Structure 1
Amino acid sequence: MRSFRFNGSRIVKTGIAIFLTATICLWFGWPPVFAVITAIVTIEPTVSDSIKKGLVRFPASAIGSAFAVFFITLFGNAPITYTLAAVATILACSRLNLHAGLLVATLTSVAMVEVIHDNFLISFFIRLGTTTIGLLVSTAVNMLVFPPNYRTDILKSIQSISERAGSMLEHTFRTILFDGDANLQEDREIVKRLTTEIRKTEKLIHFQRDEASLYPWVRNREAELQMAERQLLFLHNLEFHLDALLRVPLHDIEWTKAERDLIMHAVTALADDLRHSTSYDHEKHQHQLKKITDLFWENSKSVTASDAMHPTLFPPEFTILYELITIYDLVDKFFDPDSVKAAREAEI
């Protein structure tokens, strides 16, 4: 649903920009095709990107137009004209680091060969005018029509990642404790999807921060963005430790049934915290962590007190409990009251 809404707004804005651009160009008596091409590619995910890339696309389009006029003057409407205009535009834009405008400039250069027959200099300035119209109209539409706002998407995405991580955590430990021979390939795929979702959310935060210079309401929510970044970092670390759990050898785990039940109870409570953030209880969280920590030290003592030669690798029980304690600490930081307070203050 989120993706559809985002793409839908981009489609509507692109359509409005095309209509307004074509209308203005026709009012001036200029061919609208070049302006429309520019308007289409200038609708970026953020207004800031539209402005930044627009400042690159204008000189790039000017270069493409200039090469088109130059080679038409030399060779007329011939195959070599299309070739030289395109190649020269690509080389010049690449050399000048105008990569964001390279495609538009090349299309403009090639398209101009077909429509210019005389008055080459006037045609060149008309192309600059139509490009300017396309840039200005599309940027204005992007700013005023459905202004980019990723706040809701960011918060929903973080909540979704948290819920999926909680479900995976519970499933992974249930498999480790009670079904050691099971295939964890599905869990590994879930970890990969979590990583992808985290990357997408990081990009949304980047988009939202880019708008801070243009929209005061974005600047006023800087504390909320910082909180979202911290939570996303904790989720990324959580994903790392979940992946580490999936790599622990599950054979020869020597926990008793009571110990397995104790661990599973703690994991279930932890997973519920991740799935239902509003019901997070710090005191209950610390109580469960104390039980797991005590079990961790008991296991450590049993290893050091063993008459057998000390192993070169940690026993799987040791590693699993260490990862679980680390995850408990991450979840506690994820629900840091200071972060929640900062978010609420940002909404005022």
Structure 2
Amino acid sequence: MFTKIKAKRFKFLGARLIKTGIAVYVAAFICHWAGLPAAFAVITAIVTLEPTAAASIRKGIKRFPATLIGAALAVTAVSIFGHNAAAYAIAAVFTIYACNLLHLEVGTLVATLTAVAMIPVTEGAYFLSFVERAGTTTIGLAVSAMVNFSILHPRFSELISAKNTRIIDEITTVLEKRTEELCQDKPASKSTRQRFQQLQKNIDRAMDLVYYQREEWKYHRYSAKYIDYFTYENRRLEALERIVYHINSLFMLREVDDTFHYGEKELCVRGFQSIITVLNHPEHHIPKEHHELVSEVDHHFWHIQETHPDMISYRYHHQFSKEIIVFYVILSIHDRLEDMEQLHQRHQKKHSLPS
């Protein structure tokens, strides 16, 4: 119980949360020291803190002019319409339009927030109000970028590794469920499809982490050991992505043909179970029994095509039978498993890891 509480607490106190707190404190402190209202700086610091320093700097370059546009339009709207609903609508609409027109889309949110938040506090001296609000918003932008750049450099390899482990668990679940459905001559159920869709989303999120880590390399140095670890986990993720791509073919089958007899179904079950075993092995070790099973699947795969040549004709409905597709998926996933086994062996040899 204590371990679970501690894990949740650690998750809550993540690096990004800590950096957000620091950025808010620093932005508010600077504004109070300069005698400026801190609200705009604090709001900006919160909404502009990006996952990586690279993103903060790159987007900050576009957010700064977008913020000036929003402040200028807010002042203009108040001077024409006063403090009423029309001023809010005009400021918001024209700020969004201007940001899109000038290709400053990443700054649209901050600029619009600045515009609408300025309206109720803008009185009389419009130019001074513009300078003050633009200044405090700029402080928030600068502080969030500097905090993100200098504090708690993100290390995404560990997160990618954890994602890979979770993806393997999800692949196992999806394969088991889909194999059972195929052997019962059933189409993919709604729950199985939902699990597969979630699996695809997790692959995409893991790929986002890879992108973030590569972005960080532009601004921070990492050890050769860490870079090699990242490369290993990245290539493992790429292999898992290809496996998921092949599994997608199983969801294109509504039901298996009547020609998919008991022996073929039994071979299908053994093939996917062996794949699951290799996937879940810490080193993705492929035993001799798996190679023998794959040879049996390969032999049966080519035997079906030789004895049923009409299945690979150029007519739309008879290019491949459904049982051929199932065996093709098994063989294709096996190729990826070999890649993962060799990848681990090279990584293990390079770092002299214990077996």
| Alignment partner of 1:215 is 2:220 | yes
Q: Which letter does structure 2 place at the counterpart of 1:295?
A: H
Q: Which letter does structure 2 place at the counterpart of 1:109?
A: A
- The residue that corresponds to 1:140 in the other structure is 146
Q: What is the CA deviation profile of residues 260-299 of structure 1, one whole-angstrom value per residue up to 9, with x for unaligned ones?
A: 5555434322210112232513655433322222233344
- The residue that corresponds to 2:166 in the other structure is 160
The verdict on how the C-alpha distance between 1:6 and 1:196 changes in structure 2, with shifts beyond 3 A counting, is farther
**Aligned pair partner of 1:52 in 40, 47, 58:** 58
- The residue that corresponds to 2:127 in the other structure is 121
Given that residues 227 and 339 in structure 1 are in contact (C-alpha distance below 8 angstroms), is that contact kept between their aligned partners in structure 2? Answer: no
**Aligned pair partner of 1:271 in 268, 272, 276:** 276
The verdict on how the C-alpha distance between 1:218 and 1:203 changes in structure 2, with shifts beyond 3 A counting, is farther
Q: Offset of 1:41 from its aligned partner?
A: 1.0
1:88-127 equivalences under 5 Å are: 88-127=94-133
1:183-332 equivalences under 5 Å are: 184-217=189-222, 221-246=226-251, 247=253, 249-253=255-259, 255=261, 257=263, 261-278=266-283, 280-281=285-286, 284-303=289-308, 312=318, 314-332=320-338
Given that residues 284 and 344 in structure 2 are in contact (C-alpha distance below 8 angstroms), is that contact kept between their aligned partners in structure 1? Answer: no
The verdict on how the C-alpha distance between 1:253 and 1:76 changes in structure 2, with shifts beyond 3 A counting, is closer
Given that residues 77 and 113 in structure 1 are in contact (C-alpha distance below 8 angstroms), is that contact kept between their aligned partners in structure 2? Answer: yes
CA distance in 1, matches of 2:151, 2:304: 61
CA distance in 2, matches of 1:334, 1:274: 9
Q: Offset of 1:221 from its aligned partner?
A: 4.7
| Alignment partner of 1:180 is 2:199 | no
CA distance in 1, matches of 2:67, 2:143: 16
SS, match of residue 256 in structure 2: coil
Given that residues 213 and 219 in structure 1 are in contact (C-alpha distance below 8 angstroms), is that contact kept between their aligned partners in structure 2? Answer: no
List alignment gaps of at least 5 residues for structure 2: 1-6, 311-316
| Alignment partner of 1:150 is 2:150 | no
* Further displaced range: 316-325 or 247-256: 247-256
List alignment gaps of at least 5 residues for structure 1: 306-310
Given that residues 21 and 137 in structure 1 are in contact (C-alpha distance below 8 angstroms), is that contact kept between their aligned partners in structure 2? Answer: yes
Q: Which letter does structure 2 place at the counterpart of 1:204?
A: L
Q: What is the CA deviation profile of residues 74-117 of structure 1, one whole-angstrom value per residue up to 9, with x for unaligned ones?
A: 56545554444434433322221222222222222233333233
Given that residues 64 and 108 in structure 1 are in contact (C-alpha distance below 8 angstroms), is that contact kept between their aligned partners in structure 2? Answer: yes
- Cα root mean square deviation, aligned: 3.5
CA distance in 1, matches of 2:105, 2:306: 62
**What is the aligned-residue identity percentage?**
32
| Alignment partner of 1:86 is 2:92 | yes
CA distance in 1, matches of 2:118, 2:177: 61
CA distance in 1, matches of 2:349, 2:67: 44
Given that residues 223 and 342 in structure 1 are in contact (C-alpha distance below 8 angstroms), is that contact kept between their aligned partners in structure 2? Answer: no
Q: What is the CA deviation profile of residues 161-209 of structure 1, one whole-angstrom value per residue up to 9, with x for unaligned ones?
A: 12321343344334544x3358644433322221111111111111221
Q: Which letter does structure 2 place at the counterpart of 1:131?
A: T
CA distance in 2, matches of 1:256, 1:79: 72
Q: Offset of 1:157 from its aligned partner?
A: 1.0
| Alignment partner of 1:67 is 2:73 | yes
Q: Offset of 1:333 from its aligned partner?
A: 1.9
Q: Offset of 1:316 from its aligned partner?
A: 3.8
| Alignment partner of 1:22 is 2:62 | no
Q: Offset of 1:215 from its aligned partner?
A: 1.6
CA distance in 2, matches of 1:156, 1:50: 25
Number of positions where the alignment pairs a residue of Structure 1 with one of Structure 2: 340
Q: Which letter does structure 2 place at the counterpart of 1:193?
A: Q
CA distance in 2, matches of 1:65, 1:45: 26
Q: Which letter does structure 1 place at the counterpart of 2:40?
A: F
CA distance in 2, matches of 1:205, 1:317: 36
Q: Offset of 1:154 from its aligned partner?
A: 0.8
Q: Offset of 1:141 from its aligned partner?
A: 2.5
Q: Offset of 1:119 from its aligned partner?
A: 4.0
Q: Which letter does structure 1 place at the counterpart of 2:119?
A: V
Q: Offset of 1:57 from its aligned partner?
A: 1.6
CA distance in 2, matches of 1:35, 1:46: 20
Given that residues 224 and 342 in structure 1 are in contact (C-alpha distance below 8 angstroms), is that contact kept between their aligned partners in structure 2? Answer: no
- The residue that corresponds to 1:39 in the other structure is 45
Given that residues 69 and 120 in structure 1 are in contact (C-alpha distance below 8 angstroms), is that contact kept between their aligned partners in structure 2? Answer: yes
- The residue that corresponds to 1:308 in the other structure is none
Given that residues 40 and 136 in structure 2 are in contact (C-alpha distance below 8 angstroms), is that contact kept between their aligned partners in structure 1? Answer: yes
Given that residues 163 and 276 in structure 1 are in contact (C-alpha distance below 8 angstroms), is that contact kept between their aligned partners in structure 2? Answer: no
